[in-house]
Structure 1
Amino acid sequence: MDANAPSLTAPPPAHSPEDALALAERHFGRTGRLEPLASERDLNFRLTTPSGESFVLKIGNAAEPAVVVEFQTGALLHIAARDPALPVPRVVRSLDGRTGVPLPGGEILRLMSWVEGHPMHRVASGPALRRSLGTTAARLARALEGFDHPAAGHELLWDIRNAARLRPFLHTVTDARLRDLAALWLDRFEDEIAPALAGLPWQVVHADLNPHNVLTDPMGRAVTGILDFGDMVRTPRACDLAVAASYHADPVRPLETLTEVVAAWHSVLPLTGGEARLIPDLIAMRMVLTVVIAHWRAGLYPGNAPYILRNVPSSGAGLAALTETGRGAARRHFARALEIRE
Structure 2
Amino acid sequence: MTQTNSSLTTAPPQITASAAARLAAEHFGLFGTLTRLTSERDLNFRIEGPEGAHVVKIANAQEPHEVTRFQTEALLHLHSTAPDLPVPRLRRTVTGATEVILPGGEMLRALTYLQGQPMHAAPHPPAQRIAMGQMAARLTKGLQGFAHPAAGHRLQWDIRHAADLAPLLPQIADADLRSLATATLERFVAHVAPRLKDCRWQVVHNDLNPHNVLVDPADPAIISGILDFGDMVETPLVCDLGVAASYQLDPADAAASLAAFTAAYDTELPLTDTELSLVADLTQARMLTTLAIASWRASLYPDNAPYILRNVPSAQAGLAALAAVPPEALTETIARACGRT
TM-score where L is the length of structure 2: 0.98
Amino acid at match of 1:215: L
Q: Which moved more, 1:122-131 or 1:135-144?
A: 122-131
Pair 1:175 & 2:174 matched: yes
SS in 1 for 2:96: coil
Equivalent-residue separation in structure 1 for 2:75 and 2:306 (angstroms): 30
Report the CA distance between 1:222 and its aligned residue: 1.5
Q: 8 Å contact 1:125–1:248 — kept in the other structure?
A: no
Runs of 4+ in 1 over 6 A off after TM superposition: none
Counterparts of 1:1-342 in structure 2, within 5 Å, are: 1-49=1-49, 51=50, 53-218=52-217, 219-341=219-341
Q: Which moved more, 1:123-132 or 1:104-113?
A: 123-132
Report the CA distance between 1:220 and its aligned residue: 1.5
Equivalent-residue separation in structure 1 for 2:78 and 2:260 (angstroms): 25
Amino acid at match of 2:314: S
Q: 8 Å contact 2:203–2:234 — kept in the other structure?
A: yes
Amino acid at match of 2:209: N
Amino acid at match of 2:9: T
| Identical amino acids, percent of aligned pairs | 52
Q: 8 Å contact 2:30–2:51 — kept in the other structure?
A: no
SS in 2 for 1:47: strand
Q: 8 Å contact 1:208–1:243 — kept in the other structure?
A: yes
Unmatched 5+ residue regions in structure 2?
A: none
Equivalent-residue separation in structure 2 for 1:180 and 1:76 (angstroms): 40
Equivalent-residue separation in structure 1 for 2:127 and 2:252 (angstroms): 18
Report the CA distance between 1:189 and its aligned residue: 1.0
Equivalent-residue separation in structure 1 for 2:286 and 2:3 (angstroms): 21
Equivalent-residue separation in structure 2 for 1:125 and 1:289 (angstroms): 24
Report the CA distance between 1:125 and its aligned residue: 2.1
Report the CA distance between 1:339 and its aligned residue: 1.4
Q: Go from structure 1 to structure 2 and tell me whether the alpha carbon gap of 1:293 and 1:4 turns closer, same or farther (over 3 Å shift).
A: closer
Q: 8 Å contact 1:127–1:260 — kept in the other structure?
A: no
Deviations 1:40-67 (A, max 9, x none): 0100000101x37100000000000000
Equivalent-residue separation in structure 2 for 1:52 and 1:7 (angstroms): 32
Report the CA distance between 1:259 and its aligned residue: 2.0
SS in 2 for 1:222: strand
TM-score where L is the length of structure 1: 0.98
Equivalent-residue separation in structure 2 for 1:318 and 1:245 (angstroms): 10
